[in-house]
Amino acid sequence: MPTKPTSSTALQSDATPTGESRVALVRRARRIDRELAVTYPDARAELDFTTPLELLVATVLSAQTTDVRVNATTPAIFARYPDAAAYAGADPAEMEELFKPLGFFRAKTRSIIGLGQALVERFDGEVPARLDELVTLPGVGRKTANVVLGNAFGVPGITVDTHFGRLARRFGWTDQEDPVKVEHEVGALFPKKDWTMLSHHLVWHGRRRCHARRPACGACPVARWCPSFGIGETDPVAAAKLVKPGPRG
């Protein structure tokens, strides 16, 4: 595995976490993404939605739970609250009952009601299509905002969740822990038009192969370009058993 740059080289504008040249890092990063695109041709947002508001609500509700559970719960939620005004005027007790399967239902109820009120009061009930406006909404940070921008509005954005951050560091694209710094450092390696799909590729790979505790290194399509190869199971047969082929979660 390549060594990290020394403190002296870290001050150089072209220093990289792995010590390789900037050009080599960009080429390797883009090669990995191209291979992941082939491996996961159906990669997409795994939350079910039909409108920007539905995606925004689903993404806020997905905190500390799985997409599978959110998708099982949101049909009833979307039917009960068809627009921002409905969320703004919701009865908290009724909403809490709907949110209970998702955990942290009281906090999520406060966020969603506040979200609806903010949309009605400041954006005429419509979800804004700008990052600086989205992050002013209750329960919405950069990660949620980029999910909505990229998948509901077609505005490129990098979504740094736990999977994305873990893989970006394992790939040697960044050594940052702060999500905003990860977003900026990784974004600089790729054309802006690729940011949304890049996010899907890394999240899908993190959920299916590059697990936090025991990555399936021996069944990894990008192993040859990964400086972290060997931190998980390298035997191809054993690694294949670790792959999660399809379930969302």
Which of the residues 132, 161, 175, 235 is marked catalytic? 161
Catalytic-residue membership of 161 = yes
Q: What is the DSSP string of 39-57?
A: H-TT----S--SSHHHHHH
3-state secondary structure of 212: coil
Which of the residues 143, 178, 181, 235 is marked catalytic? 143
Catalytic-residue membership of 143 = yes
* Summary count for the chain: helices (H), strands (E): 13, 0
Phi/psi zone of residue 103: left (φ > 0), alpha (ψ -120 to 50 degrees), beta?
Answer: left
Structure tokens at 58: 């689903």
Interhelix angle for 92-99 vs 105-123, to 10°?
120
Rounded to whole angstroms, the Cα distance separating 159 from 197 reads: 10
The catalytic site residues sit at 143, 161
